[in-house]
Structure 1
Amino acid sequence: MASLYIILQHILLISSIITLSPFYFSLVFQVSSHGEEQCLTSSSSSPKSCRTVSVKEEIIRLANDEETVDWMKKIRRKIHQHPELAFEEVKTSELIRHELDQLGISYRWPVAKTGVVATVGSGFPPFVALRADMDALPIQELVEWEHKSKIDGKMHACGHDAHVAMLLGAAKILQNLRSTLQGTVVLIFQPAEERGEGAKRMIEEAVLENVEAIFGLHLVAQYPLGVAATRPKEFLAGCGGFKATITGKGGHAAVPQQTIDPILAASTSVISLQNIVSRETDPLDSMVVSVSMIHGGSAFNVIPESTTIAGTFRAFSKKNFYALRDRIEEVIKAQAAVHRCTAEIDLTGKEQPTIPPTVNDENVHEHVMRMSKEIVGEENIEIAPTFMGSEDFAFYLDKVPGSLLFLGIHNEKTGAVHPPHSPYYTIDEDVFPIGAAIHAAFAHSFLSNFTARRSSI
């Protein structure tokens, strides 16, 4: 009965300190001098051997633990040396599963062929998700360092190796704090971001089932090391591709009247497509239409049977993105008809994926900014501008509220100055404890806040 009384006292203590706060870090608990949490439950522990800490303090301490930081670096370097392209992340997935096994974290595999989905916490609602992408790029690494890619023509040139390492770091932190989690954290290790297909496949295999919110981060060299930057609502542009085959009637170039010239129709289509943005859209609402490929003919004196043009289009709002796609189809078909040709247009994304705009949920964005501020300080928080780049994290945001964050790695001393997809791309590994802490802080605080908000209704 005495032990039951102590347990009930402890439950009442924990429930009394779970309250809403401006920083969503309201849960406090006691740890022993050896870092073991909730030593109040141990009858052998004396008050002098315990100290009261906030979850934020414990997350930061765990993230900056020397062994944990070295562990994250080793994981990243192993993945970096063995880069794998989209849906080929076999060794990467194997490494992730090995580390999860060592941490005692359960997972589901395979998901979307090579993906891994793990869970930490109670196993019950609410659920919050964290995501890291895993795939590399078909690029020959030109950075000379000890852990350079061992696979010719393949390289982690977008930081996905680091994303995996930081999410595993967050998994380790959350596993240490699992008894304080007010729900379940879903850890999504996603394949094929670079192909724009991984997130869709993961969603099809129910990784977002019952998830209330999702968070992801991406390392960028635009900001100094440790600077966190994002924005509410429209953040990254949607990206679509188009390919049109314009068919006429081939013949000798000396007698064009006996032909129907698809090259002329393609040429006027290219010019008219540029007018969509310059003459039909608000100049303050950025959009892009670029024709980047023209192929037609094989001889100087022969008008070909058909000509193919292809390109990309981008916009920040979903409304403009899909309106732009429809207008591209209208213009090409109309120009082909004017020149007595026909046009077959592929807008399905078979050759180039169609990725919707990345639109951050305003409430989740505010939560991310509060958490990031707690980890990196207010002086290292920035409101990011919109970017024309795309990220398939947008598919998750189409389904559940969430937010994508940019985390700076720019450091001239370490050579972390090159943009993604550069053969000279490198990162500053000092970002690892920051990224792991932000992941863990977001998930832990979101669950606590969600639970407290729901219980107050």
Structure 2
Amino acid sequence: MSLTLENQLIHWRRELHQYPELSDQEFATTARIQRWLDAAGIKRLDYGLKTGVVAEIGAGEPLIALRADIDALPIEETTGQPFASQQPGVMHACGHDLHTSVMLGAAQLLKAREHSLPGRVRILFQPAEEIFTGAQQLIDAGALDGVQAIFGMHNAPDYPLGTLKTRGGAFYANVDRFVIRVTGKGAHAARPQEGVDAIVIASQIVGALQTLPSRQVSSLESLVVSVTRISGGNTWNVLPGTVELEGTVRTHNSALRETIPQRIRQLIEGISAASGAQAVLEWQAGPPALINTPHWATFCQQVARHSGYQVEDATLQMGGEDFADYLRVIPGAFVSIGSASEYGLHHPGFDPSEALLAPAARYFDRLAGDALAAIVEPAAALADAE
């Protein structure tokens, strides 16, 4: 990659970083991506999307896809960088600006050798990953029609630069959200016996929820239950009548996942009934576990070694990723690339290294071309790998 293009990727990333937009509100981001693709002479496909962009390079069959996500998070940035977010309370704290810039770079490299590609590469600049709806939007619009394999990435701040990790089979977790509403009876704080203390009951529920992974499920299974919000009361001397808890459950085993809502209901109803209160569970199923196609995960590792990455098998991740929705429809693989940030994803101080941009763009350029060739001549591709 030329220094000019390397600097271009940094420029794109910093512009995206300065002007982040929340899920399904990525209008200016969409316009920027469209403008940059048009300037490179890269064809855009119209799927009637409100936000997000689909581009395509090459001709004929087969057809594979690359995916980047484009939305940001409702977080106030604290990095102090000169290119920090100009949008109060909104930040690219997950690195989607990096992902978008990488795929823009891969698109430019693929465009430069378009006539030699043994097929087509469709690039999805997807909205609304953070709320887990964007992938399904593109699927419903038909953006996967005819695609034979799909590939994507996430930066990994806890991995060093030059490291790429992935695994066949389950990788990222099932993601589910819950809200528990505890209804007791309000009372004066000096006379708690006259009420039913929803705060005490909610506190008991928080502790009891941790018995699900520690005492009700095998320690060999992956299960995380986290309460992330407690809301109740509005003054210091009144026991509130209601308290609301919110949180998330993460699993990899789909059969286990199906049992969790009923287990939570039994637990909260028993605790609340013992104190004369009521507890109701609201369950919101999120994206499924991301399950890489083993063949393509191995293929991604092989290409990464040839591209100069330190390649390792990834461990199971408890984070969620709506790329999983694509993999329920077609084969493919998702990889993690080291971004070496002191602070992790979704942190206001998240500050990944831009040195990952150029190598990652080169990698996805090579991966796309090699994947097309492997589909056309799988026997030859296997021989090359060996």
TM > 0.5 between the two?
yes
Compared CA separation, residues 154 and 254, structure 1 to 2 (3 A):
closer
- 1:55-88 Cα deviation digits (max 9, x unpaired): xxxxxxxxx1223222222211221222222222
**1:113 pairs with 2:50:** yes
Q: Aligned residue for 2:369?
A: 444
**Matching residue's letter, 1:365:** A
Offset at residue 143 of structure 1 (A) = 2.9
**1:66 pairs with 2:3:** yes
Q: Aligned residue for 1:280?
A: 216
Compared CA separation, residues 330 and 253, structure 1 to 2 (3 A):
same
Compared CA separation, residues 397 and 329, structure 1 to 2 (3 A):
farther
- 1:86–1:135 contact (8 Å) kept in structure 2: yes
Q: How far apart, CA to CA, are the structure 1 residues paired with 2:189 and 2:347?
A: 43
- 1:245–1:306 contact (8 Å) kept in structure 2: yes
* SS of the residue 1:166 aligns to: helix
Compared CA separation, residues 421 and 111, structure 1 to 2 (3 A):
farther
- 1:8-28 Cα deviation digits (max 9, x unpaired): xxxxxxxxxxxxxxxxxxxxx
Q: How far apart, CA to CA, are the structure 1 residues paired with 2:101 and 2:291?
A: 26
1:45-60 map, 5 Å: none
* SS of the residue 2:135 aligns to: helix
Compared CA separation, residues 337 and 173, structure 1 to 2 (3 A):
same
Compared CA separation, residues 455 and 230, structure 1 to 2 (3 A):
closer
**1:393 pairs with 2:323:** yes
* SS of the residue 1:99 aligns to: helix
- 2:186–2:196 contact (8 Å) kept in structure 1: yes
* SS of the residue 2:139 aligns to: helix
User: Which of 139, 144, 150 is the aligned partner of 1:203?
Assistant: 139
Compared CA separation, residues 295 and 223, structure 1 to 2 (3 A):
closer
- 2:213–2:223 contact (8 Å) kept in structure 1: yes
Offset at residue 136 of structure 1 (A) = 2.0
Q: Aligned residue for 1:347?
A: 283
Compared CA separation, residues 327 and 206, structure 1 to 2 (3 A):
farther
Offset at residue 254 of structure 1 (A) = 7.5
Q: Aligned residue for 1:104?
A: 41
- 2:71–2:127 contact (8 Å) kept in structure 1: yes
- 2:374–2:380 contact (8 Å) kept in structure 1: no
Offset at residue 362 of structure 1 (A) = 0.9
* SS of the residue 2:284 aligns to: coil
Q: Aligned residue for 1:433?
A: 358
Gaps of 5+ in 2: 382-386
Q: How far apart, CA to CA, are the structure 1 residues paired with 2:111 and 2:308?
A: 22
Offset at residue 177 of structure 1 (A) = 2.1
**1:359 pairs with 2:296:** no
Q: How far apart, CA to CA, are the structure 1 residues paired with 2:239 and 2:91?
A: 42
* SS of the residue 2:143 aligns to: coil
- 1:91-131 Cα deviation digits (max 9, x unpaired): 21111111211222222356542111111121x44321111
Offset at residue 190 of structure 1 (A) = 0.9
- 1:261–1:304 contact (8 Å) kept in structure 2: yes
- 1:121–1:179 contact (8 Å) kept in structure 2: yes
Q: Aligned residue for 1:166?
A: 102
TM-score by length of structure 2 reads 0.88
* SS of the residue 1:171 aligns to: helix
User: Which of 232, 242, 245 is the aligned partner of 2:181?
Assistant: 245
Compared CA separation, residues 408 and 253, structure 1 to 2 (3 A):
closer
- 1:116-155 Cα deviation digits (max 9, x unpaired): 1111121x44321111111122333333344333233322
**1:372 pairs with 2:298:** no
How many residues are paired up? 381
Cα RMSD (Å): 2.7
Q: Aligned residue for 1:214?
A: 150
Q: How far apart, CA to CA, are the structure 2 residues paired with 1:125 and 1:260?
A: 67
Task: State the identity as a percent.
Answer: 35
**1:312 pairs with 2:242:** no
Gaps of 5+ in 1: 1-63, 411-415
* SS of the residue 1:152 aligns to: coil
- 1:128–1:446 contact (8 Å) kept in structure 2: yes
Q: How far apart, CA to CA, are the structure 2 residues paired with 1:324 and 1:290?
A: 13
Greater Cα offset, 89-98 or 107-116: 107-116
Compared CA separation, residues 396 and 265, structure 1 to 2 (3 A):
same
Offset at residue 346 of structure 1 (A) = 1.4
Q: How far apart, CA to CA, are the structure 1 residues paired with 2:31 and 2:265?
A: 44
